[in-house]
Structure 1
Amino acid sequence: MATRLPNYQMRDGVTRLGQSYFNPIWADLDSRLDALERVRINWDSQVAQLRELGLRRIDDYIRPLTDEVDALLEAARTETDGLAVALVDEHLTPVIAQVNAILAQAQTATDGIAQTLVDEHIAPILAQAQGVLGEIQAIRQQSNTSAQATLTEIDELRDSAQENADAIATLLAEAGWQEQLDNLAITALRPGDLARAGDYPTVNDDGQSAVGNVPDDIQAALTAGTASAALGRYDLAVNRNYQAHASTAIDLDLSAGPQVALVGNSSLRTVNFDNAPEDRSMLVIVFAVGAAGLSFTQLPSAAYWDSGEVPEAGAYWTQYLLWWTGSYWRGSVGMKQ
């Protein structure tokens, strides 16, 4: 990807930090961010397509298996019933027909002849018929047992196939689509990750996708130990929170600023500085309105003041100049009246 870093680089002692320098940078970054934010991916559509793909795979591979199982089950049942019918038709029906014919003949004869016919012919045939019926029942019982075992095995295969189909659908829904989307030629950041003004996509030291911020980068560069900049002018915000504050104790948080504070001192007030930067120097200006004066927790004695004594307040106002060296405080009175 082409870089526009040369358009953003500053040169010591040459680059002037003002609107003529920063506004073209903001415009360029804004246009590039706008182009990036126009890239949209319909995540729900992608997931739906992949789920549909998984269902089609199930229809292609699992559905034929279940249909084949149903066909085998029906064939087993049909073959079992057909086997019993065939045995009856082939063996039992002819025997019964023969018995009926002999009985009909016996009824027309004398009792002795009938008895003889029964003993000589009918009884053996009936015994044979009973034996055939027993064999048929045994064969049918064996067929039922075999068919039941086959049905149980088929049910187990069907349950296993259903579990596999569910597992395939779950994997497609939960994992597969993410791997496919990762190969698209877009940033891996999700929509909404660029939340602050000046955010831009970048990579961290490990080569992973990350979010950078132009104002944060500039602030880090300007506050680095070796950084320098030439300013045509600058102004400072004024802390007016204690101008009409009634408390006798004032805590100024130097990590949040401002470095200029306006304090009303109709009565003596004590100023305490919090969170001075370590190993970095700064100037704090406290403008006291009133004649009661101020005392400073970090400058308790004359040794901390340039005049060799704790300064007295003016009759109307006093300007205190407090210098933080990076490890201790020194002070002086700039003006007073």
Structure 2
Amino acid sequence: MRVHQMWNAYPELKTDLTSVLSLIESHIRVRDKTVELTIKELVHSGGKLLRPAYSLLCSQIGPKKDKEKSIAVAAAIETLHMATLVHDDVIDEANIRHGIPTIHTKKDNKFAIYSGDYLFCVCFTILSRHATSLAHLEFNARGMEKILSGELDQLNSRYKSNVSVKNYLSRVSGKTAQLFAVSCYSGAIESEAPRRLAMNAWNMGHHIGMAFQIMDDILDYRGNSQALGKPIMADIRQGIYNLPLIYAMQENPKAFQPLLEKKDALTESDMQTLMELINTYKGVEKAQDLARKYTKKAIVQINRMPKGTYRESLKELTMKLLERIN
């Protein structure tokens, strides 16, 4: 099984992430073999596996080292992430994910929703077999609830041009940062790290998730469509107004209003005009500054953790997320 080439620099982590994918695949057993094959294709679609990687690294914080359990928790985290992506693609009507057609495009919405629901079941099947305590299971359930609330907030905010930075950050906190926080916390708690360190891991994951999503939104303006595996400015086309646009609109709302009022009728010329306005009012630059601030907050939390090679890997990986191009 292949994992993303970025993990070639971390051989042990690469091996563990391969095991994560194998464990997920071993739990996918569907009577309808077409459904089973489609879900397995999603498992191996080329995602970066960042969330399970952070979970695995954080499983080295505490004194207990149980590789099998750490891999299982990381697998549950990634399965949860994949389930939300499948549902996301249906809601956003996204045709491409990681450069390949999405499930609802290859089949239909009902098929995709069923597949996403099935992955939720796999997530909790893995957790129920490997989680240390019921409290941990409940914690992950609450985490999933907040993630889904964040998704609903995004859905409710589509085509609303009065979204504030505060609204945006609240949405991202649930939609993206929550799962990074749960990933880091889960790894730490399964290693029997003291509560103080487990909460450090939680806070670190939250800050990383915030920075990651901001950078993801920046790439929607500055990325390469082939590298990203989706069209540039796809979010605006779907009525999702993210941070670079929000920052730019604060400077001159009237310049943006006539364009955004067109909603899904925006032309390519309109998109070009929007891009020029965002550049004029430095929306991307301001968003990058905030991503750096969240990254610095994450590094502060990492520095509070016990020394070890895992800590250096956490720092290196977190800094690299600021430099990514896809």
Structure having the higher strand fraction is 1
Structure having the higher helix fraction is 2
Please say which structure displays the higher CA radius of gyration: 1
TM-score normalised to the size of structure 2? 0.23
Q: Which has the higher contact order (CA 8 A, sep 6+)?
A: 2
